[in-house]
Structure 1
Amino acid sequence: MFIIKNGIIHIGNGDVLKDWDILIEDGLIKRIEKNIEIENSKTINAKGREVFPGFIDPISNFGCMDSTFSIKDHDEISNPITPDAKIKYAFNPSEIMLEELYKVGITAIGAAPGNKNIIGGQMAAFKTWGSSSKKMLIKEPVALKGAVSNPVKESYGKNQIFPMTRMGIFSKLENYFYEAAKSNEDNIVKRVLNKEIPLVIHVNTSAEIQALLNIVKDYDLHLVICGGYQADRCIEEIIHAKASVIVGEQTYLTAKNYNETDLKKIADIQKEGGLVSFSLTGDYGPEGKVKYLWNAIGFYRAGVDREDVLKMMTINPAKILGLDHILGTIEVGKSADLVIYTNNPIEYYSSRAVYTFIGGEMVYQEGDL
């Protein structure tokens, strides 16, 4: 049992409570009040410190590819359409623990197949701390993942296998959904077509986004565009399709190719009721955990309100992954996934994480080796 005392609590929905307490018990948030006092509880003085819901990276390859990034167990490139491949079987707890994502406050991820297949497989949500895949698994499947960007052409084109072009990629995707809609077979794509889980597609250019939207317009599904470096060039179409956007990693190689992305314009999709988030993962895999905060600061510098940026790190990805009933905000009854910072890391890069809780367990305290 822990009591976090007198913190500046960012609920995750835009509300902020100053000098309030949080009671953590049995892995859950039990009370959010002022002046909670319980004998024999462990107390953390959070006076002047900022308390956030655990951050969620909604599209991540961490834990699903060898720590040297060489084996790449998350890409089944024997066929460009592999909807039955399940990322949960690629997830390795020891690999993700090496990344220590929890040390910047990332407490959950949407583990995903890579970007080399048109339909790459089924995503799953995992905690970033735990002793086994079973204990870290939150929910699966949370989405069906695919891609229509350059890595698909590179994977199959070098072997002279269809599809080798954007024309081939979109033709195959269009036919896949056409045949799936006609079929009476109960499978994962039917769950997408019934809006039980979202379709997450990695896409970069505005031309790719518009082609994708044209294909899915005839189906009532929840589309999530990830990567989305030119999503700002087709905002109206995205809003009309009621699609969500997960902006890919912004600070490494992708930044050189897509450095004219208007982050403020993409973030404004939230004003129309859309869901916007961002990820550490770019075209060819994930970047280091600290860059997660650089991406958050990037949106803030672009003029996005800090609490709106926080939504992109917490409640929005929770909603995209279908986890908002247990994660994404600091509310009574939700899992006690929390991070405490010296000041707001969305505003100040000098801010330091001092405590991280996952499922009510303190998994990190500043100074721990």
Structure 2
Amino acid sequence: MTADRVVLGIESSCDETGAGLVRLGADGSVQLLADAVASSVDQHARYGGVVPEIASRAHLEAMAPTVQRALDESGLRLSDVDAVAVTAGPGLAGALLVGVSAAKGYAAALGVPLYGVNHLAGHIAVDTLQHGALPERSLALLVSGGHTQLLLVDDVAGRITEVGSTIDDAAGEAYDKVARILDLPYPGGPPIDAQAALGDPEAIDFPRGLTGPRDAAYDFSFSGLKTAVARWVETEQQAGREISVPDVCASFQEAVADVLTRKAVRAAQDHDVRTLVISGGVAANARLAALARERCAAAGILLRVPKPRLCTDNGAMIAALGAHVLASGTEPSPLDMATDPGLPVTSVSVTDGAATRTP
């Protein structure tokens, strides 16, 4: 019987420096030990979006202290780590390089295996820290600032198939752009969610992108919705009418949640899947969670949504995915492993210096 193993996970794909520690049990279970995050979001807020150079510099400054905080939180020493997992992609090139370089250093110094893993698959794997092992087949709705995807998951450690994706803006990106239109803070998700709670979701009939009978069943489009909000606000301002920010936010948010949940439930039914996982930063949105619960219950689908802290970028999700990859017997990544800013979700891990991509 294999003894328990401790996996250190490092995340640096965007503006959060994450370090997480999990314990992989002899029975394949994965237990969260620590999750430390340092965010540089405040440094980017004045620009209305992430500035890659600032993000990279922030990762450099925060990496070692964040790893140490995770160790302190868990009560472990660095020498207790049995494997290191790190985000190899997708993400910002410079930011990824900082995390991968740090992970290589830790793995080499400790003499333990290194696993370069996929950030997107990490968002799915993190759910196992809260709800246990995924069923043999499940569907994941990944919604974040950079990604909106429907993923068929046969094995989170290596068999993930994309069944749908956004053709333009991701859901989180649309939130940020609408927040800018309404003079709300960056990032746009939390302030829009807060304003929406005070508004009427039926006040404005904003469009639902790609929901026509001839449209792609599982793909998404939020660019038109963002433009519709901008034009509505402009028209109201030109007419001298007072704009109800809560009503705009509630109506916009309803349109996003409606499309996301409608397509996710349809995809689950069409693929005969009975479990839906929603993760990524937008998964913390109150209306999305409520509507997903309602529609999944009506369709007989089990809904799993990690707690908000685990939905956003963090090191725990990378440690969790690394643990699953380690348990699967996948070969470790070489120390000359390269990063891949465009790494597709079908490439869960890196085994030979380049991503291993499943058909």
TM-score of the superposed pair, with normalisation by structure 2: 0.32
Return the structure number with greater relative CO, CA threshold 8 A, min gap 6. 2
- More strand per residue: 1
- More helix per residue: 2
